[in-house]
Amino acid sequence: MVATIFERVGQESPVAVMVRATLENAFSAPALDRLVVCTAEQQYTRTLLFSTVGELMTTVVVRQEKSLHAAFQHRRQQLAVGISSLYEKLGRMERGGSEAISARISIAAS
């Protein structure tokens, strides 16, 4: 999914290619899930991974979807949870996980 978004960015520009590679590595699904698990105090993962939530949120941020609910609806068959689980996961995001993701964004941007 992230690859599709970055595919539109300057395919012939070496800088764009390096940025893409850095972002894909820093924000890969396994990397995000590990980051959240390592910083979690109470949060847990059963069926809905944080990377899935991040992927859905990304589609809204880049205006591929109008809302998180719309993003969920378009991927409903692929997800093994209901919409309430998605909103609960977002509502219970721990500060440590958010800070770790923000730090990763800062490092990737510099």
Which amino acid appears at position 83 of this protein?
Answer: I
In this predicted model, what pLDDT tens digit does every residue of 33-90 receive, in sequence order? 776 766 666 655 667 888 888 888 888 888 889 999 999 999 998 888 999 988 988 8
What is the distance in angstroms between the CA of the first residue and the CA of the last residue of the chain?
23
Nearest to 93 by CA among 51, 48, 47, 40: 40
What's the pTM value of the predicted model, to 2 decimals?
0.61
The count of other CB atoms within 10 Å of the CB of residue 107 is: 10
Place of tokens 């820093």: 26
Q: How confident is the model at residue 16 (pLDDT cuts 50, 70, 90)?
A: confident
